[in-house]
Amino acid sequence: MARSTGPVLVIGAITAANEVLFAPAAGSGKVNFNWRIVPAVAGLALGLAALERIAPEFAVGLAWLGVVTVLVVPVGNAPTPLANADKILGLTKG
C-alpha cells in the first residue's frame, strides 16, 4: 500500500462521518450521505499512488494537505466538520 493511501482514507472517513454523524447532530436535519465520496476517494488514492512513484514526498504531502483542506472547506452536502463541531459543542449558534 502506498504511503499516501492512509491520509486519503482519512479524508474519506472525515467526509463520510461529517455527512452521516456530525451534520445531523449539529441540527442540519436528516442524514444525507453523498455516495460519490466512495469512488472519489478510490480515484484519489489511485492517482496519488501513481504520483508517488514519480515524486513520493510530494504525493504524501499533498495527501496530508487534503486532510487539512477537508476540515475547513465544505465538501459534499454538509457544512465543514469544524463548523459542525462548533455547533455540537455549543460554541456558535445557528
Whole-prediction pTM: 0.88
Domain of residue 17, residue span: 5-89
Count Cβ atoms within 10 A of the Cβ of residue 63 and give its class: 0-12 exposed, 13-18 middle, 19 or more buried: buried
Q: Is position 94 within any domain?
A: no
| Cβ(26)–Cβ(87) below 8 Å | yes
Question: What pLDDT is stored for residue 24 in this prediction?
Answer: 84
Which of 53, 65, 54, 55 has its CA nearest to residue 10?
65
Q: Is position 39 within any domain?
A: yes
Over its length of 94 residues, how does the chain's per-residue pLDDT go in tens digits? 889 999 999 999 999 999 888 888 878 777 778 899 999 999 999 999 999 999 999 999 999 999 999 999 988 788 899 988 898 888 887 6
The number of distinct structural domains making up the chain is 1
Q: Is position 44 within any domain?
A: yes
Q: Is position 14 within any domain?
A: yes
Quick check: helix, strand or coil at residue 94? coil
